[in-house]
Every structure is written in C-alpha cells, then in structure tokens.
Structure 1
C-alpha cells in the first residue's frame, strides 16, 4: 500500500499523483514544508501531478464557501510561487469538473453506512467541526475524495498518517468496482507517507489558516518578524532542541533549521545561552531570506491575475477531458451507454 521515494526515483513516469487543498485561506509555512515543497520535488523527478482545488469540499464543515473564485486564484498563486510548473501539472477546481462528481453515485453504492461511520478521520473531523448537526457531505467526505483520486486514475497519493483511513476507502472502492464489473478501470492507489516535519503555530497550537497563528507565504518581512516576535516560547534561557519537553522552542528551531539547511540541534548549539530573543531574531532572518525568491515570484505573479485564471482554465480543460474519458469507461462497463 505504501510507496517509497526510492521506488519513485527508479521509475517516476509510472506514477500519477493526486493531491490538493481546500481554498479556505492563504497557504503558510506549514503547507510549504509539509506538502508544497514535496509536490515540486515529485514534479522535478518526472511524476505527473494533478492538483485539485477542492472548492466544493469547503462546504463539509461550514455553511458557505467564502469568496471561492478569489481563493482558488490565490491557491494557484501560491502553487506557482512555490515552484509548481503549470505546463507539467494539472491544476483544477473541483466544481469545474462535473464528470468527476458523477462518479459519486456508483461509488456510494460500494460502501456501507457502517463503514463510513467507522472511519476514524471522519469521526475526528465531525468531533472538531463545532456544528450542531453533521451534513451528508461531511459524512461522505471519504467517497468524495475517492472520486477526486480515481477520476484521473491516480496511483499515488501523498498523505499523513491520519489520512490513511481516507485513502483506504478509496482503495476499497477501486477494488469493489473492478470486482463488481469484472474490469480493471481503476488502479488501487498507494500511499506516499509524508515525513514532513511538524511545525507548530506561533501560539504553540496546531498551525492553521483560521487560527491566525501561521506565517503566510504572502506575508512581508515586517509581518513575518512580528509573528515570530510574538511566538510562544518558555522562560529557560539555554536554547535546546527537545520536542517533547520544549515543543514551542523546538518548533522555532526546526523552522530556522529548515530554512538554513541545518539540523535543529546544531542551530540550538549555536544560539546556546542567547535566550528566546536571539532565537527569534535568527529564525526571522532565516525565514525572510528563505522566502525572498518565493515572495519575489509571488509578487510578480500577483500582478497578472489574468494569467492565474488562464492557468486554471487550462487545468480545468485538461481535468475535464480526463474525467470525461473515465466516466465513459465507467458507463460502458456498467452497461449505461
């Protein structure tokens, strides 16, 4: 079920990756080091990349989507600034590919209510949704993700450990469809487990767009300095890397180390008794220097919103062509043509 980086390097053309984001706000450093950087690396290896801007899925845990078209453009902006090549990657919006969503009906027939209820990721998302009731969209979220993955016949999906149950639902649907109709329309996608470092937000909690504790890729140098200056640390003067006992200090060390290409233990050793103020100054300088070229590209791209829309139009056209072919295959094997 899991694929290693070594396997990908040996035969990158064998893989098609589907991944993406919900357009709920600007991407931040957690996204960059957690996923964006890896996407660019996969593309550079020669892996075919599909990036879904999951605008419909914003509705899983909220009543309305806030400025979805504008936020979709902003995601394209962050993707391109981070190094995604739109000539080699298909960037598309969920809502613009109707054939993709038509896969939901046959897919829903392949999973039981009990299986959806047992999905630990869905249970956790429902528990944290802070809603009085759960929508059908939230409940069937893993099946929607299965449609996202299988419409383009992706066979590799980058995920964190907590997302493996979602991917297992996709694998189950692919196998059951193929078995039911004695066909091989869908591959059984494998997981590419993320070894991305866990960066905490500046308040010491989970880094999140909505919590105001993350440094956005589009933040300027002053905003970055202000965010890091206000980051939570502790009272111990000696700086050390100890994620268990000193999570906030360790997260700042890790961020600085990622930007400098060092180990966090080495950064801690160099700061020594300099205290939190010295740590924050160093991390601020490291982040601003690392993001300098990304911010320059982002500013250039942001000046031409028409180009962003053109990238999205081209990606939507490509995704629609792929989805139409897949849906035609599905209808054929189901005897519905």
Structure 2
C-alpha cells in the first residue's frame, strides 16, 4: 500500500473525489475494471464521491449530441447497477450546474494558449477526431475539467496515466488562482489506477465507438457473439504472455478478472485447449460475472422516473456546492457585488 492509499484507508472522510464519464453510449467491461470498480471501492471506504455525467463534453468532438437523454439515463443506470449508492454519492450533469461552467471564465485567464495546445491528451483527442480544425470547447477541455474538479473542491481524482496531463492543468489552475487571489482551492492529487488495461475484441483499445467492447448491459447471447469473434492466434497452447501473445492474453485476463483469479492460473486450466476452449471459458466467466449487474441495470432502466429523481437530487446538491464556490471565487477576485 502506498502513502496515498494508506491515508485514504486511515482517514477516508478527508477526501472528496470527482470522477465521471461522457454520455456517448453504454459503459463496458473496460470501464468497469478500469474505473467503476474503484469508484465503488472508494465510496464504500467512506470517501465522498461526485459522479459527473459530462453532457456538455459530448460536444467536444461532434456537432450533434444524438440520443443524449437516453445516454445520460443509461449512464446513471450503469453506475447504480455496479454498486454506486446515490444516497451518499452525488450524481449530476454539466448542463444542470451553471455555476460550475461559469468558473471556466476566470480559470481560462490562468492558462496560456500554448499550455492548452501542448497538452498531449488534447493533441491525441484532436488526432482521433480526424477533423481539420477543432472547436474552442475541445481546445479548452482541460480547463473545463479543472472546473469540474475544483467546483466541489475535490482533492482526489482517480486517473489513468494518460490523463495525468489534464490533471496537471487543474493543479496549475488551483495554484495560480490561490497565488493570484486567495487560497480557495485544494491542489488535487492523482489516484493512479492500478487496473490492468483491457483490449477490445479486435486487439485495439476497448472503446464504445469501435464496437469492440462488451457492454455491461449486453445480453448473454450478445456477449457470446462478441467474444466468439475476438482475435486470437494459431498456437493451441494457452498461456498468459501479454508481450508476445497480446490477443490471447487479453482474453485470459478478462476471464481472470471476472473469476478474481491469477491469469496464469486461468491459462494453465485451459492448457492445450486452444482458442475454442479459451473463448468458452471467457464467455462463461463474463456472463456469470455480469449476471447480477445486468439484472440490477434492467430494473433501474425500467424506471426512468427514478433515474430522473436521482439526477434531480444530485443536480440540486451540486448546484448548492457550485454556488458557494463561485461566491468564494468572486469575493477573492474582488467581485462581491
């Protein structure tokens, strides 16, 4: 256990976490093992959790936000299904919290155009969007994320290593505001994900947009079809060797995560059974693991009024927190009128 984990375990009430997702489709197993399970763990440990449904950020790389309400409610249902408790977690949307978004104005004055353009995550997103030019919202995405984190004075942000440059912008904004005006904001720490990265069934990064992911809401038959099409190799002996046999090892890892076992042990059980035996094991493991999650999600999805109620309550609390922070910011900047 590192120092940060030890501090969280010893004094969970000292920490407030901001995390979230863009509502661009249903969440999948990569999300679960990458972030969702950790969110549940932190909440159960006693850490205060804010879960952002980043509906405004859907507009960063597309002109139209299709089926947005459906995707927002689906995202809420996914979180509830994996164990996020809305009685203590605050689940809210960008568009319902005006004071959060208003923080972008003073925050933008604290960073330079060059700092934004050099941000490697922004550069990667721009390249992935395959657009000849990008919107101002895309370019200023890290500052919007700073507003997401700092509006509630979150001091802990779970991230993967690829998201560290975004968080560093937030840390920079917090420090510069505190130095220029008054000490209003904590400088948030990164809680690095220790979760192994899951590839999609085509050997590339698991992604909603690539159609290579196993959604939490997928049926057992859909899951079987997706896994049956997954890339493997010609060697019948199944081993866990991510460097030399990435596709096979990814499937082994997926089964191991679902079984809560060591991937080398799972591979040894399959042995010389080849790709067919491997895929059979993965299908059974995933479907067994997701069965209760799917049942809970179906119950939540069947009650959109309850999902709206949870969002309404979360939005109300987020607005209270954001308004208080904005008042502090305006006072610190000499604008208390």
TM-superposed CA distance for 1:4, in Å, is 2.8
Task: Report Cα offsets for 1:119-157 as digits up to 9, x if no partner.
Answer: 111111111111121111111110000000000000000
For structure 2, list consecutive stretches of 5 or more residues without a partner in the other structure: none
The Cα of 1:261 is off from its aligned counterpart by 1.1
Partner secondary structure for residue 4 of structure 1: helix
SS of 1:18's equivalent in the other structure is strand
Is 1:125 the counterpart of 2:125 in the alignment?
A: yes
Per the alignment, in what secondary structure is the counterpart of residue 294 of structure 1? helix
**Which deviations, in whole Å up to 9, do the C-alpha atoms of 1:187-211 show, x marking residues without a partner?**
0000000111111111111100011
Please name the residue that 1:294 is paired with: 293
Partner in structure 1 of residue 156 of structure 2: 156
CA distance in 2: counterparts of 1:114 and 1:248, whole angstroms: 39
Q: Distance in 2 between matches of 1:70 and 1:282?
A: 33
Looking at structure 1, the residues matched to 122 and 236 of structure 2 have their Cα atoms a distance apart, in angstroms, of: 42
Identify the residue that residue 328 of structure 2 maps to in structure 1: 329
Alignment of 1:179-194 (within 5 A): 179-181=179-181, 183-194=182-193
Query: What is the match of residue 255 of structure 2?
Result: 256
1:119 touches 1:166 (CA, 8 Å); kept in 2? yes
Q: Distance in 2 between matches of 1:3 and 1:163?
A: 21
- In structure 2, distance between residues paired with 1:44 and 1:163: 24
Contact in 2 for aligned 1:52/1:94 (Cα 8 Å): yes
* Counterparts of 1:123 and 1:319, CA distance in 2: 30
2:114 and 2:210 map into 1 onto residues whose CA distance is 33
SS in 1 for 2:30: helix
Alignment-derived partner of residue 9 in structure 1: 9
User: Structure 1 residue 6: deviation in Å?
Assistant: 2.0
**Structure 1 CA distance for aligned equivalents of residues 95 and 302 of structure 2:** 26
Residues 1-337 of structure 1 aligned to structure 2 (within 5 Å): 4-181=4-181, 183-337=182-336
| Alpha-carbon distance between aligned partners in 2 of 1:34 and 1:50, rounded to the nearest angstrom | 17
Instruction: Work out the CA distance in 2 between the residues paired with 1:59 and 1:196.
Output: 29
Per-residue deviation, 1:3: 6.3
Separation of aligned partners in 1, 2:59 and 2:195: 27
Residues 206-255 of structure 1, C-alpha deviations (whole Å, 9 max, x = no match): 10001111010000111111111111100100001110111110000000
Alpha-carbon offset, residue 263 of structure 1: 0.6
Change (3 A) 1:173 1:317: same
TM-score, with normalisation over the residues of structure 2?
Answer: 0.98
The answer as to whether partners of 1:3 and 1:192 remain within 8 angstroms in 2 is no
Aligned residues: 335
Could you tell me how far apart the structure 1 residues matched to 2:205 and 2:189 are? 27
Secondary structure of the equivalent of 2:51? Answer: strand
| Preserved CA contact (<8 Å) 1:3 1:191 | no
Q: Deviations over 1:21-64 (max 9, x none)?
A: 00000000000011000000000000000000001011111111
What displacement does 1:88 show?
Answer: 0.6
Question: 2 CA distance for matches of 1:70 and 1:37?
Answer: 23
For the structure 1 residues 310 and 3, does the alpha-carbon distance in structure 2 shift closer, same or farther, using more than 3 Å as the test? Answer: farther
